[in-house]
Structure 1
Amino acid sequence: MPTLSDSIVSSSSRKLAIRVRPDLKARRQRYQGRVYWVVKDPVGLQYFRFEEEEFAILQMLDGDSSLDEIAERFEADFPPQTIRVEELQNFIGMLHRSGLVLSDSPGQGTQLKERRDERKRKELIGAASNILAFRFRGFDPERILNWLLPVGRFFFSGPMTAFNLLLVSCALTLVMVEFDLFRSRLPSFHTFFNAQNWLALGATLAVTKVLHEFGHGLSCKHFGGECHEMGVMFLVLTPCLYCNVSDSWMLPSRWKRAAIGAAGMYVEVVLASIATFVWWFSEPGWLNYICLNVMFVSSVSTIMFNANPLLRYDGYYILSDLMEVPNLRQKATDILNRKLRKWCLGLEEPDDPFLPKRHQALFALFTVASFLYRWVVLLSILYFLNKVFEPYGLKVIGQTIAMASIWGLFAAPLWKGYQFFKVPGRLTKMKRLRMYVTLLVVAAAFAAVLLVPLPSHVYCPFEVQPRGATSVYVDSPGRLVEVNVEAGDPVEVGQLIARLENEPLQMEILKLESQLAAYETELKSLQRLRLHDASAAMEVDVVEEKIAAAKDQLAQQRDEYARLTIKAPVSGVVIPPPPAPEHKTDPEVELPEWFGSPLDPENRGALLNPEGPRNMLCQIIDPQAWDAVMVIDQDDVDLVQEGQRVQLLLEEAAWHEFDSKIDHRATDAMDSTPMRLASTSGGPVPAQAEPDGVIRPLNTSYQATAPLDAAGGLLRSGLTGIARITTPKRTLGQRLYRYLSRTFNFEI
């Protein structure tokens, strides 16, 4: 009875109906001193790397040779190496699955369809696991790139590259030398990322990424490669372009491959440098703001994403090319997995000839660093999106994206772990003692992470306000005609601050004085006539009553007129009141209202009224007494108590940190939001303006105050910043439970 080995031997002598695809392209290259062949599939735009022996076997597949003949030719060409029929069959099977060979056997269409469906399923799973960056294939840009190639050759030429590098150096020098002034001109976070700038920011990101990808494509053409795929990529919810320059792997020079990988960043850095100079020397306006967007998008994306080799973007491929280690991440991950299987499970695996032999510890550390940095970047992006959506009540969108993204990072390792352990016989090969020790260490690590108390802080915005300020109000309506003080001037009790004018009141006083004079003249006449005329005596009492009433009215009007002269009720320093917002009105329907501060020169002649929200003329303060007024969200207010330490950092003095303690925490929710902290003015607190001009918070918030040390003269009213309140230590388990209990309602 024939055995399995007999059947294999007999089949190996028959003609193998498999042949290499004639349209494949191959390039001979050298990696770390060894010869390899890079094979390109021009239809699927896939690339494969083979050792010289493997490529020789691929070339031997002509559809007429048998496995035995191929083995004999291989051993003749590469002595003293030998190859078994089973190894040939496995290798040819891999070639068939990769689509590099053709077969005349029936049923190939079904296998090709299954292979395509499996590939699409993996692509869909990969896209679902990373919703912050996914791609849609587009078109073949070869004709466009050929048309733009003269521009690309000029841009990537030696003299132009040297000029651009000089430009980048000058821009960087400008920023470093004028850093304090540079930082002071930057808008706040919520001003820059408010809803009005979303469209401009998204458009800037899209345009810069289009130029970035064209930089890759043109550089690939410039160095002799091809580019046949360009499509749409959604990067952090923004549509961008991507360009597939995998054809650079066909180039023998690693420096050219690295240059193609760096071309996109090169374009963006040049754009950022030009935008830096335009922004610096231009006046505020749409051009100035667009340049600021370009600076932010190009610099942040280059530093945080593209240039960092820990993420699978340009920096990763540049490092892979320069080290001559294709599939760097996969090989580093394989090294780490093999080490963990050996140390933790006691599994001994045969050496992989394709893995680097030296510095394996560094490759393993690279995998760990990549994993941790991916989490850092993901959490940073999610925090950024949450802060952008929060002022508009759209935190649920950020939370949904966070859940999907975090699940994507968890799902792949869990699935791979399941696939590893479900292999038959895998569990029996493990050393139980090592496995139990590993499980114990992992459990202890999780317990430490979840149960060990860690420092806890509550972050919230604050505004500097004077402590015990005396507000000077307008008591009588009138036009502001004279202001004798400016913001920051010292005043003494009784010193004249301002004078208002009320012409109707003056006319009323003159009218009353005239009436009083007439009544007094009439009274004198009646007093002379009453000795001879009885009726005149009766009218004296009536006129006297009129005189008394007129005197009372005149005294009231004179008292109101006196209140038009405003004097300092206490000694101190003058500061302006909270600025009045500008309300757009139709000049044909109503007169425009003044805005800003009544102390501003442009508000001379403005009508001030004691009724309404614009009745404060100024405040008089003690320049050494200041408070930080914090706005705490209701989600965190229960963690904040009086007496807790708080560290305060001003936006305009980030180098100086103020230490204080909370001396008061309100128990009632805020009715209005300080204008400078409200999202309506670019602040961090979600708020909306009511028709009466009051700015109300969108979320329930509470105020807390902490005294500030005025040493150094850094403080003035209206400065804003971020407060870090030190709260009792909490474990990660407590934080997770708190988050889940506040996010989801578990009551039935």
Structure 2
Amino acid sequence: MNPAIAAADQPPPADKPLDRPAVNAAPRVRLRTDLQATPTYHQGRRYWLVRDPLARQVVRLSESDYQQLQHLEDADPQLIAEAAEQQLLQGVPQSRRGGSRSGINPFYLRLPGIDPERILSWLVPRTRWLFSKPAIAFWMAVIGLAIAVVLTQVRQFSQALPSFHAFFGPQNWLPLAITIIVTKVVHELSHGVVCRQFGARCPEIGVLLLCGTPCMYCDVTDSWSLPNRWQRAAVMLAGVYVEAILAAVATLIWWSSRVGPVHFGCMNLMFVCGVSTLLFNLNPLMRFDGYYVLSDLVNVPNLRSQAAAAWRSSIVAPLAGDAFRDAIPWRPRGARWLVLFHAASTAWRWMAVVAIASWVIAVADTARLLPLGYLAASGLIVAAVLPMFLKLFRVARGDDAWKGVNRMRRAVLIGAAIAAVVVLFVVPLPRRIAATGVVDYADAATLYVRSGGRVDRVDVEFGQRVAEGEAVVQLESPQLLHEQIQLVSQSAEAGVRVASLRRRALSNPELMDQWDSEQATADRLQQRVEFLQRQVQQLTICSTTAGIVLPMIDPDRVAKVSLRELTGQHLAEGTKLCRVGDPHRLEVVLELDAEARALIDTGSRVRIRFDQNGIGVVESRVDSISEIREGEMQAAVHGAEKFRIICKLPDATSALAGTRVSAKVTAPPETLAHRVARGWRETF
């Protein structure tokens, strides 16, 4: 059990009156009695790790600083100010406390958890083998094998991966959510298990909200009391180690399995345990496992707060002046690299907020819930920006360390910050519109069934060359032929009646009206006969151009291998039979929402990505644009207005007709203010 830090100043006896302190005397303060201190050694020097059980953080103190805080009447005022900044003191006026911890961090909201003691007591003896040296060596070999398979077959892996819409579509939301919950529970329990194996305590496990996203956490602050640095690193990396095992096994199973539930389940594991681990858990710029390992390696507990203090000392203080510099704690050692760390971590957090907001919008778009996606992304951005404005408000009011700073200087700094934000909103930013589509034959003619009937004969086959006007398929329609024979007979009879009435009307004028009526009937019958003759002629489907006979492109259906498969089938009027054109001249047909029509013109640049055949990205331009009409592709919602654009592919592109593609169409630059206004209009 770590010894509690004893209070430095004991209260005087009750019968002795308190002396009134001098006006300039230091305030009477003491160390908090609930703090716990543990000695540790680094490069032969003794340090003290002071654990705050309320804030769940550890502060590193040198031997001299620790001894001074035991006797605050002789302590350096700058050291007292730093201790107040770290909230290690009690009895400190609010104005002496640092303002960096006030408020709630919207990026990191920690909810109350539970005591995992019973769970860990059951798990530790049953999972000890997993963290033994032989097991670690074995699993490192498996992880290396999985990485080698991916690196040596990158093209095949890229072909087999699904598109963004397929992976993050509504059909995968529940499996992906289950995967995330299970893996993160295992991740956090791994921290607790290793922490318990080394003798440290894990008092709490629960849920936190990271950028609004629920995540698990495990309080292993006591691991800082472990004397061995490698043991502390092992505790921090235990979750990453287990997730790497899951990712490696999932990769090998996914690569060797067929498409099915197991295949897609392994793919979810690969994403959650592989990609997310690299971007978040091992990233030292975010307050996860990699951050704590780096903090231990450089021997700087509370690395983020130390870096923020270095930023205030090195960057903010020269701008704010001597009054601000005198009001903040002393400059941490090694402040230069701490300043760079603070700048990098802040930039990364903002990149993460923007990336998560964009991801939320894209996922909402896959479910056709774009207004809801804009609303959620806007809430995330507002939660991120609001603390900045609150800080500016405290600066304007002169709170905390800004109290002694000249009002004009504060106004200039606030104006510069606001101007930077305004510039960010008014500078045009590149814009690309996402689209999906298929590869098709360029300028190929489509042969339609113009008169329904049964396929009697197929004269050519896919891949054969035909001349213009050459017969391709012969249909037969007994009903149409029977109707034609009847109408020809009726037309002939009507012609005989008309001739007879004409001769009789010459001698009897009263028959002129009857003759006109019969003539009109005969004309109608003749028109019908001519129409049926054209219908019978159209039973012979002929090529409208010279070229190669090509199959119809429909990525949602299995393509026909042979035209002769149609023999004996009844084809309705309007059925698309085949194409005739050049199989080496290809184009991409993309479908977009009608709102984007005003932003795209012929000649606009298009980046086309082939996700399934290893071609990669192909640059092209918009060749033609269709009229706005109801969407026809599978991804289109019934009744949604769409339009299509056609982009020619280079002759050297080895794509297959019918291949699905995704694309980014370059639109005119747009300011962030316009994007926010457009999102507001689309949402409300």
TM range (shorter): 0.7 to 0.9
Q: Deviations over 1:97-152 (max 9, x none)?
A: 769x9xxxxxxxxx9xxx9xx9xxx89x636x23xx64432321112112111233
Whether the aligned pair in 2 keeps the contact of 1:509 and 1:558 (CA below 8 Å) is no
Where does residue 665 of structure 2 map in the other structure? 724
Where in structure 2 are the equivalents of 1:242-253 lying within 5 Å? 242-253=217-228
Residue 670 of structure 1, aligned match among 629, 647, 655 = 629
Q: Distance in 1 between matches of 2:473 and 2:62?
A: 90
Q: Which residue of 2 aligns with 1:702?
A: 643
Q: How far apart in 2 are the matches of 1:427 and 1:510?
A: 97
Q: Tell me the residue number matched to 2:246.
A: 271
C-alpha deviations, 1:470-505, integer Å up to 9, x for none? 112234545568767665554444666556677x66
Q: Percent identity?
A: 31
Mapped to 1, the partners of 2:165 and 2:568 lie a distance apart of 32
Structure 2 distance, partners of 1:94, 1:446, is 29
Which amino acid is 1:743 matched to?
W
In structure 2, do the counterparts of structure 1 residues 746 and 213 end up closer, same or farther at CA, with 3 Å as the change threshold? closer
Q: Is the 8 A contact 1:471 1:618 kept in 2?
A: yes
Q: CA deviation at 1:395?
A: 2.0
Residue deviations 1:133-177 (CA, integer Å, cap 9, x gap): 644323211121121112332111111111111111110110111
Determine the structure 2 residue equivalent to 1:737.
Answer: 674
Does the CA contact (< 8 Å) of 1:254 and 1:324 recur in 2?
no
The structure-2 alpha-carbon separation of the partners of 1:602 and 1:235, relative to structure 1 and needing over 3 Å to count, comes to farther
Instruction: Give CA-to-partner distance per residue, 1:646-685, whole Å, 9 cap, x none.
Output: 444433455342233x34334x42223333xx2xxxxxxx
Q: How far does the alpha carbon of each residue in 1:293-341 deviate from its partner, in whole angstroms, 9 at most, with x for none? A: 1001111211111111111111111110111101111111111112223
> How far off is 1:34 after superposition?
3.8
Counterpart in the other structure of 1:357: 333
Contact 1:462 1:723 in 2 (8 A): no
**SS at structure 2 position matched to 1:620:** strand
Bigger mean CA offset, 465-474 vs 169-178? 465-474
In the alignment, what sits opposite 2:315? 340
Among 283, 287, 307, the residue aligned to 2:282? 307
Candidates 614, 623, 644, aligned match of 2:583: 623
- Please state how far the C-alpha of 1:560 moved relative to its aligned partner: 7.0
Change (3 A) 1:306 1:163: same
Amino acid across the alignment from 1:153: R
Structure 1 position 328 matched with structure 2 position 303:
yes
What corresponds to 1:466 in structure 2? 441
Distance 2:582 2:85 in 1: 82
Q: 2:41 aligns with which of 15, 30, 33?
A: 30
SS of residue matched to 2:286? coil
CA-CA distance at 1:265 after TM superposition:
1.1
Q: CA deviation at 1:721?
A: 2.6
What is the match of residue 572 of structure 2? 610
User: Secondary structure of 1:221's partner?
Assistant: helix
SS at match of 1:232: strand
Deviation at 1:415, TM superposition (A): 2.6
- Partner residue in 2 for 1:140: 115
Distance 1:33 1:337, change over 3 A: farther
Please give the alpha-carbon distance, in whole angstroms, between the structure 2 residues aligned to 1:217 and 1:425. Answer: 39
Distance 2:280 2:80 in 1: 42
Structure 1, unaligned runs of 5 or more? 61-69, 72-81, 102-110, 517-551, 582-594, 679-686, 690-695
The Cα of 1:46 is off from its aligned counterpart by 6.1
Task: Supply the distance in 1 between the matched residues of 2:379 and 2:189 (Cα, whole angstroms).
Answer: 31
Local SS of the residue matching 1:724? strand
**Distance of 2:356 and 2:85 partners within structure 1:** 39
Q: Does 1:657 align with 2:668?
A: no
- Counterpart code for 2:224: W
Residue 173 of structure 1: aligned partner: 148
SS, match of residue 202 in structure 2: coil
Would the alpha carbon gap of residues 450 and 716 (structure 1) be closer, same or farther in structure 2, given more than 3 Å must change? same
Please show how residues 471-510 of structure 1 align to structure 2 within 5 Å.
471-478=446-453, 488-493=463-468, 497-498=472-473
Q: What is the DSSP-based 3-state SS (H/G/I as helix, E as strand, rest coil) of the residue aligned with 1:636?
A: helix
CA shift, 1:219, in A, is: 1.5
TM-score (norm 1): 0.71
CA distance in 2, matches of 1:18, 1:351: 21
Contact 1:255 1:322 in 2 (8 A): no
8 Å Cα contact 1:462/1:630 also seen in 2: yes
Distance 2:548 2:216 in 1: 58
Q: Is the 8 A contact 1:37 1:55 kept in 2?
A: yes
Alpha-carbon distance, 1:443 to partner: 6.5
> CA contact under 8 A between 1:472 and 1:616: conserved in structure 2?
yes
Q: Across the two proteins, how many residue pairs are aligned to each other?
A: 624
Give yes or no for the alignment of 1:640 onto 2:581: no
Post-superposition offset of 1:565: 6.0
3-state DSSP class of the match of 1:137?
Answer: coil
The letter of the residue matching 2:276 is: S
2:32 and 2:412 mapped to 1: Cα distance?
51
1:226 aligned to 191, 201, 220, which one?
A: 201
Partner in structure 1 of residue 517 of structure 2: none
RMSD: 4.8
Residue 7, structure 1, aligned to residue 20, structure 2 = yes
Rate the CA distance shift 1:242–1:620 in 2: closer, same or farther, 3 A: same
In the alignment, structure 2 segments of 5+ residues that lack a partner are: 1-16, 490-526
In the alignment, the residues of structure 1 paired with residue 56 and residue 415 of structure 2 have an alpha-carbon distance, to the nearest angstrom, of: 47
TM-score (ref. length: structure 2): 0.77
